[in-house]
């Protein structure tokens, strides 16, 4: 019978805005996720905002919002990031429960604005750093390996409102300042780092800080993310020899609906669209099919000299992936707003959420 190796890491994961709570405590600043309402399988989460003229509005999570709009908290709506499950105050008992379950790894993310409330500060916020240091020390007490995601689907609201988030290269410098602060504080305690989370499924104001979601805006912002990831990887290896730096990829089991050539070609193109992000970050630059993708989408990347060299010289060390569902694709499939196919697999049962799951998919 096959066995997992003795040093296999078993555990769980959380994102700061889904889990922590502690909204506004410890000098925490606003993140873009703070403007995202609750939702369910039938109701899309919304981003609430205020336009320049003072009018209020909301858009689905990954849709665009009006140019110049800023995040707005509607007192009549519920925002999950404000409460989470109160890990901020209850981390000790939560970690004790993780140990009881047999965790030997816990992946969690840093709330950027607990460290730099606007992203612009010169020095990190000691209250935020101390909170995460306490969490890390508590994990180590139970022999649980901390695995930290530096940026998980969020950005300081200030950077989104004043610089359009990752549309601006300015955000690269702010991100690297965060990385340097974390590496200096936690070197010797944290070996595994993820620069970003599920880049193949993020888009828009709440996750990237961008108001528009057109292809030019999206891929230009992603170029800045790729450069930031390479520079963070370089910095991590210089400051913490022996550490490992990776990313999280959102994997779905993707199958052609039939063996028709048209469906097979649709499957290949859809898979490339999803793999593009990890391919760029791990293989040392934009994949061979990127130029065809950019030409099709009308994208012309603005690069600075040396950008491509950075991607080549400082790729990531490893990939992690999340697996939520399987899906099928055919020549007539309409991809959703983030380029994903969501068609049901007629050969698999679905969860109450309508997500077909095949555990063997993770082995493909």
Angle at 337 between CA 335 and CA 341, to 5 degrees: 30
Torsion, CA 134, CA 139, CA 140, CA 141, rounded to 10: 90
364 residues of the chain, pLDDT tens digit each: 578 898 899 999 999 999 999 999 999 999 999 999 999 888 899 999 999 999 999 999 999 999 999 999 999 999 999 999 999 999 999 999 999 999 999 999 999 999 999 999 999 999 999 999 999 999 999 999 999 999 999 999 999 999 999 999 999 999 999 999 999 999 999 999 999 999 999 999 999 999 999 999 999 999 999 999 999 999 999 999 999 999 999 888 888 999 999 999 999 988 888 899 999 999 999 999 999 999 999 999 999 999 999 999 999 999 999 988 888 888 988 766 555 667 778 888 888 877 777 665 554 4
What CATH code is assigned to 11-32+82-363? 3.20.20.80
- In the beta sheet, which residues pair with residue 328? 255, 343
pTM beyond cutoff 0.85: yes
Domain range summary for the chain, segments of one domain joined by +: 11-32+82-363
The residues near 185 (Cβ < 8 Å, ≥ 6 apart) are 124, 129, 132, 133
């Amino acid at each position: 019978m096959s066995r997992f190796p003795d040093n296999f890491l078993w555990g769980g994961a959380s994102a700061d805005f889904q889990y922590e709570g502690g909204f506004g405590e410890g000098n925490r600043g606003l993140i873009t996720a703070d403007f995202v309402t609750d939702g369910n399988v039938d109701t899309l989460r919304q981003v609430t905002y205020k336009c320049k003229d003072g009018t209020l509005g909301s858009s689905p999570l990954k849709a665009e919002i009006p140019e110049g709009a800023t995040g707005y908290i509607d007192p009549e709506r519920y925002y999950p990031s404000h409460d989470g499950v109160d890990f901020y105050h209850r981390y000790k008992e939560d970690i004790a429960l993780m140990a009881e379950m047999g965790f030997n790894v816990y992946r969690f993310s840093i709330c950027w604005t607990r460290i730099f409330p606007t992203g612009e500060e010169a020095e990190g916020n000691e209250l935020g750093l101390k909170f995460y240091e306490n969490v890390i020390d508590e994990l180590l007490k139970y022999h649980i390996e901390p695995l930290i995601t530096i940026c998980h689907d969020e950005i300081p609201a200030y950077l989104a409102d004043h610089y359009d988030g990752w549309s601006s290269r300015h955000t690269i410098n702010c991100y690297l300042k965060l990385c340097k602060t974390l590496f200096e504080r936690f070197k010797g305690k944290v070996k595994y780092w993820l620069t970003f989370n599920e880049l193949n499924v993020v888009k828009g104001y709440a996750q990237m800080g961008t108001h528009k979601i057109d292809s030019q805006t999206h891929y230009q912002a992603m170029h800045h993310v790729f450069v930031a990831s390479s520079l963070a990887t370089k910095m991590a290896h210089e400051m913490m020899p022996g550490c490992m730096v990776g990313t999280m990829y959102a994997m779905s089991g993707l199958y052609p609906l039939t063996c028709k050539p048209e469906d097979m070609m649709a499957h290949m193109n859809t898979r490339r669209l999803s793999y593009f992000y990890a391919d760029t970050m791990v293989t040392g630059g934009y994949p061979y099919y990127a130029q065809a993708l950019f030409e099709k989408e009308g994208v012309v990347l603005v690069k600075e000299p040396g950008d491509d060299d950075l991607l080549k010289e400082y790729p990531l060390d490893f990939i992690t992936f999340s697996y939520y569902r399987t899906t099928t694709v055919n020549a007539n499939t309409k991809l959703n707003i983030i380029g994903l196919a969501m068609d049901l697999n007629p050969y698999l049962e679905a969860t109450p959420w309508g997500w077909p799951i095949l555990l063997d998919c993770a082995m493909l």
